[in-house]
Amino acid sequence: MLPNNTHSATLWVAASNGQLGVQEISADKLVRRLPRRVAVLGAAGGLGQGILSVCKAEGVQFTAIVRSRPNRIAEVPSGSRVAVVTSLADRPALTEAFAGADAVLTAIGLTSTSADRSALLSANMNAVEESMLAAGVDRIVVINTLLASLPGSPASRILRFFSWVPGAMGRGASEQQAVIDALGSRAFSSLRWTLVRGGLNSRGRNEPPVGAADWGGALNSWAPVSYEAMGRWMLEEAEANKFVCAAPLVSRRRRG
C-alpha cells in the first residue's frame, strides 16, 4: 500500500523475455483505500482527534473544523489546515472550510458549552448540505450511536430513555435522534451520506471494527472500539462507499 501523498510508484513487472524490469505507474491509477483530503467537523473532540491521527499517519490531508481555540489542533502537517467556524449556520464559512475535500466527516459531540442551536447538526443540516454542494463535495460520513434505530424507523426504547435523562446526556441523545429523524425525512437527499451507528469511547480497544447493515446476522457486539479505530473505519468508508444512504452498525467483533 502506497502512502496517499505518493504521486508515482516504481513497481517490478515481468517482462516478455522473463527478465524483471521496472515501470513507472501513476499512483492515481491504483486503488485507493483512503480519501486524499477530508474536512472534519468537531475536530477538537476525542473522535475528531482520532480521525486526525489516522490522517497524519496515512498522509491524508485535512481541514480540521473547530468552533474555537484552533490551538487545540497540534502538529498540522503541510497541506492541511485548521478552520474556525463558529456556527454551523454560517454557509460561507462552511463552504470555504469544505473546499477541496473529497468527503466531510462529522465528529460532533454535545457538551455543556456546545448545546446552542448554532452547534447542532440537526438544526443546520440544510446549511451543511448547501455548503458542501457549493464547495463541490457530496460525500459525508456522520457519527451517531450504536443504540440508534434506522432512519425512518421509530426511536429505540433505550434511546428514548436516555433522551429523558436530565443534562448533557439527555440533550445528546435527543440530538442524535433528531439527526436520524431528519435523514428519515430526506435531509442530505442530494448527498452520498452514511450514518455510522457506532460503538466507541476513549477506553475502547484499538482494533478494526466490523460493519453491518443491521443486527440480523451481524458479527457486531455492543463493545466499543477506540476513537482512532473508528476514525480509520470512517475514512475507509468515505472512500469505499459501501454503505451509501445507509446506517451501518460499527463496533467490535462478537467473540465466540
Grid coordinates of 185: 425525512
Residues in the chain predicted with pLDDT less than 50, given as ranges, are 1-30
pLDDT of residue 139: 98
203 by Cβ neighbours in 10 Å (0-12 / 13-18 / 19+) ranks as exposed
- Give dist(CA 256, CA 251) in Å, integer: 15
pLDDT of residue 112: 57
pLDDT of residue 41: 98
- Give dist(CA 199, CA 5) in Å, integer: 30
pLDDT of residue 109: 78
State the amino acid at position 30 in one-letter form: L
C-beta separation of 251 from 210 below 8 A:
yes
State the amino acid at position 60 in one-letter form: V
pLDDT of residue 168: 84
Which residues lie below 8 Å from residue 57, measured CB to CB, with a gap of 6+? Answer: none
Grid coordinates of 143: 457519527
Domains and CATH numbers, the chain: 1-31 (no CATH), 32-251 (3.40.50.720)
DSSP-derived 3-state class of residue 37 = strand
C-beta separation of 66 from 82 below 8 A:
yes
pLDDT digits (tens, 9 = 90+) for 155-172: 999 999 999 999 888 999
Query: pTM for the complete prediction?
Result: 0.86
pLDDT digits (tens, 9 = 90+) for 32-48: 599 999 999 999 999 99
